[in-house]
A and B are shown apart, each in its own frame.
Chain A
Amino acid sequence: MTLPKFEYFAPESLDEAQQLLLDQGVGAHLLAGGTDLLVKMNHGLLKPASVIALKHIKELEAITYDPKEGLKIGATALLADVAAHADIRKHYPAIAAGAHETANVQIRNMGTVAGNLCNAAPSADNAPTLLAMDAEVEIKSATGERRLPLDQFFKGPGQNALASGEILTAIHVPAPGSGEGVSYQHISARGKVDISAVCVGVMVHMAENGCDDVRIFLGAVAPVPMRAAKAEALVRGKQLTEETIEAAGIAAMEESQPITDVRSSADYRKKMVAVLTRRALAEARDRALKR
């Protein structure tokens, strides 16, 4: 098990990294935690000519929270640090849960939330909650920068919206408002350690006349994390009774498009979409009513 040969660069500033990425061209690959990249290289799925390490760039590792601006998770912030961050646990418990329930202790001590998104696995544990919370990604290159809503970032299994020369530098999540509740639910074969067979992120906003806003995202049941629009339509404008939640679970199950693979059958995935959507809606509702 030897990695293919490559050149290695460890820039200490973002400017330097962007210039390197430009100079090295299409054969260059960015390295954050390496927990996906090195596995792919080990298995011969990826042979980058050069690897540009991001963990030596101090400005990329920060996690900041502001009650007005919301949350900013830097590109190299570790899953373990996101999961343990006091402000994230308090104001974004579903984001903390997603990070905490990604893989195992060692991987969380190496891997990053941004890397989990860039790897663009349909099953990415951190995607559904961030999608439900309307997160945006901050993308920078030598020639400029842009913000992209996360729901436009995933292009297919392993495919993201980054163009050549671009670096995802941070994830921005709006400040949670009053009446808002978020939940993340997932299930996998090997306890919480294995890649999720199904994962669900839900955000609801509860007003006096019921749920006036909802976003439901399903992971590992389509080529990219998918929005369950039909389930949302059944919930929007309604009180979140057990009957409404049950109906939304069934709608999400019907609109999901899972495949059968080593982790689960399509049939089981569909059934779990219903169960996890119900659980997530109930928890998001309960959290919203507490705020």
Chain B
Amino acid sequence: MKHPIELKINGDIYSLAVDPWRTLNEVLREDLHLTGTKLGCGSGDCGACTVLVDGRSVSSCLTLALEVQGKEIQTVEGLAPSGDTLHPIQEAFVEKGAIQCGFCTSGMEMSAAYLLSQNSSPTEQEIREGLSGHLCRCTGYIQIVDAISDAAQKMKQS
């Protein structure tokens, strides 16, 4: 039986009727076409599906859509302040060459946003720990760590 719910995503409110067994990841991607959030392993290991719920990073593939009713959900689509300005984390990913195929990128950026919301000047070790729930098969992580470190500095200056 479908349950009527309201989801607040990137500041917009969506009224939906959702089957209980559908995950937040499925609803984001299939119903709302917010395909910036990826689906990787489906078991909480790869981090590609990471979104923020009430400001905390979670795996959208392991979250039932019905469980996040009434909460503030932020996806990578809501990271940039406008259609033609990137978020400092996104800018840094571009500048530092932290993107290759891009599949892990949105999840990495959401975890970076969570980390920097908790700790505005993380050490390299803290960045690596913050990214421990992510896998990237292209860049080898160094550029990603550099990008987050760079973004932290720029966000503090502005």
Contacts and interface: CB of A to CB of B under 8 A. Distances in A.
B82 interface: no
B62 to A, nearest CB: 5
Interface of A: 1-8, 10, 31, 34-35, 38-39, 42-43, 51, 53, 55, 80, 103-107, 109-110, 191-193
B50 A106 contact: yes
Interface residues of B, number: 32
Contact of B20 (A2, A8, A34, A38): A8
B59 A51 contact: no
B70 to A, nearest CB: 10
A119 to B, nearest CB: 13
5 cross-chain pairs, A with B, having the tightest CB-CB distances, nearest first: A104-B133, A8-B20, A3-B21, A109-B56, A38-B62
B64 A105 contact: no
Nearest to B52: A109
B43 interface: yes
* Interface SS majority for chain A: loop
B58 A1 contact: no
Contacts of A2: 21, 26
Given A1-B42, A105-B130, A193-B132, A6 B20 contact: yes
Contact of B132 (A7, A42, A191): A191
A106 B44 contact: yes
A106 B64 contact: no
Nearest to A40: B43
